[in-house]
Amino acid sequence: MTFESLQGKVCLITGGSRTLGAQICRIMAHFGAQVAINYHQSEAAAKSLRDELIDSGYKAHIVQADVTKTQDVARLVAQTIAYFGRIDILVNNVGPYVDTPFMGLAVPDFDAIINGNIRSTFLMCQRVGKTMKEQGHGKIINIAATDYKHRSHSIYGLAKHGVVYLTEALALELAPEVQVFAVAPDLIADNEDMTTELIEDAIAGTPMGRLVTRDEIAQVVAQLCTSSFEMATGQTFVLDGGRGIPRIALGK
């Protein structure tokens, strides 16, 4: 760990109670940030993570909100600012997944994935972005996925493409006070929902010979919040071990 401390920064992470969101909370706290953990339904997990961080000497607070709802977003942001005084860093981690082919995709699933990925990111960026502009600084990190580059992952890829588009558009609107980035991981090694066959196929196609971990993704999120990236904005940082590099088969 060589990059600078985030001491005193206030970081709000949506969907922060479990899996990747929880690891981002841990890493941000480890490097000094005060962490606001948003959860929707996983209250027990959020409380457990909060207690874990506090017991380790970090500052953490939990706020329940459905970030697809305008009123909930307003309350989440207001309660976070009321507790910590400001928001310096926003991580939009909420992003539900469905891989049903479009021809068989139920409309409620379409709406849920679009709302959970694009609408939530838009609402949070709009509300927090205004506050950050007013205070004169801020960092927003949107969690995308390499699916945004593919055409084989149903509505999830379309939704993540929207997250990347929002990242670029909002980077222009919120500059120069606020920087906006996206982090797009490929398949995550510690994702319990993947089959052995899927993992083996993915590793076989990855030049680095393994899959990215939640910890590595969280480390990149934290790094983007330091002064090392002050001259960058609107970029999507892909963490796929080279899997997405175009290749051609060379004949003998």
* Residue numbers annotated as active site: 156
Residue 34 to residue 171: CA distance in whole angstroms: 24
Q: Are 6 and 226 in contact (CB under 8 A)?
A: yes
Query: Residue-wise over 68-79: b if at least 16 C-beta within 10 A, else e?
Result: bbeebbeebbeb
**What does each C-alpha distance from 120 to 89, 127, 147, 200, 249 come to in angstroms?**
16, 11, 18, 33, 41
User: Which one, of 120, 105, 104, lies nearest residue 12 by Cα?
Assistant: 120
> 101: Cβ–Cβ under 8 A, 6 or more apart, which residues?
154
**Phi and psi for 32 in degrees, rounded to 5?**
105, -10
